[in-house]
A = this chain, B = another copy of it.
Amino acid sequence: MRMITLDEVASLLKENDHFKLLTHTYPDGDTLGGAFALAFALRKLGKKANVAVNGAVPSKFRYLVRNYTEQEFEPQYIVSVDVAAMTLLGDSVMEGVEKIDLCIDHHRTNSVTADHIYVDSTAAAACETIWQLIGMLGVEPDEDIAAGVYTGISTDTGCFCYINTTPRTHMIAAQVIPYCDWQSINYTNFVVKTRAKIKMERMIYDTMEFYAGGKCAVVYTTIAMQKALGAGDDEMEGLANIPRQVEGVDMGITMREKDGGVFKISVRTNEDINAAEFCKQFGGGGHPGAAGCSIEGDLATVKKQLVDAAEAFL
């Protein structure tokens, strides 16, 4: 197991063939965009390459595989893309895989076991690295490649809004947008909402309560609410960001009831308030601005515990 340079990564990709590219569970825009962009690029070099996805490609990312069909071959070189830990590799993805040859990632906490590892934690998305590699491989970009790379960098940065965005992120966007229908990608990922999602947002707004002099906002969803709206997991995405958006709120807490009398808690904070520290009190963790934990109990009891802790914390 060895950390290698980007030049070495490019050489390994040039020297090898019959690639199997691994993506992580609950596949997002970066793992899918990066793996498919790399597969299309390797195929343009005359190599064979397939992407292994845990389950089906989510419908909103279906445009990434418009021109993709599985190739028939025995995998010889295994590459993981945007995978931070072995536990994020689903069983179906790992079928027939004995070891990972190369890991390409951007998570500071990367703990994947592989022969060669390249982690650029200054990259907003693994797709930044994939784009650099595609240039180093001498592959001319096309719509499929550009759509993958744009999807990865735009979704991982909330459309260039989050703090992980860097000048390089924008430089790569400038380079890829001439090749793909980024406008329709943005519509899919940042504009459109299902009717069920809109109803869920309304219902969440109705639960919003303020504490600590308005600095803390708490919202919740229950299993009954989710059932009543027919809302799937897609509709629950992004809800954790709602309470922190309110003016004056430094800590937004979202409580989501799960089966078995447990609430999954998501905490989002503004600068100077450490969400991970807060969640540690309840056995959870995460990043300074976004963390989580799980608490057993009924709605009123769990909420009171959180509110008391928040008022002491703020």
Contacts and interface: CB of A to CB of B under 8 A. Distances in A.
Interface of A: 159-161, 163, 165-171, 173-175, 177-178, 182-183, 186-187, 190-195, 198, 201-202, 205-206, 208, 244-247, 270
B161 A245 contact: no
A198 to B, nearest CB: 6
Contact of A192 (B165, B167, B186, B245): B245
Contacts of A161: 159, 186, 190-191
A190 B165 CA distance: 15
A192 B247 contact: yes
Contacts of A208: 198
A198 B193 contact: no
B167 A175 contact: yes
A193 B161 CA distance: 16
Contacts of A195: 246-247
A285 to B, nearest CB: 23
Contact of A159 (B160, B182, B205, B270): B160
Contact of A170 (B166, B173, B205): B173
A168 B174 contact: yes
Interface centre among A159, A160, A186 (most CB of B within 10 A): A160
A130 to B, nearest CB: 18
A244 B191 CA distance: 9
A246 B170 contact: no
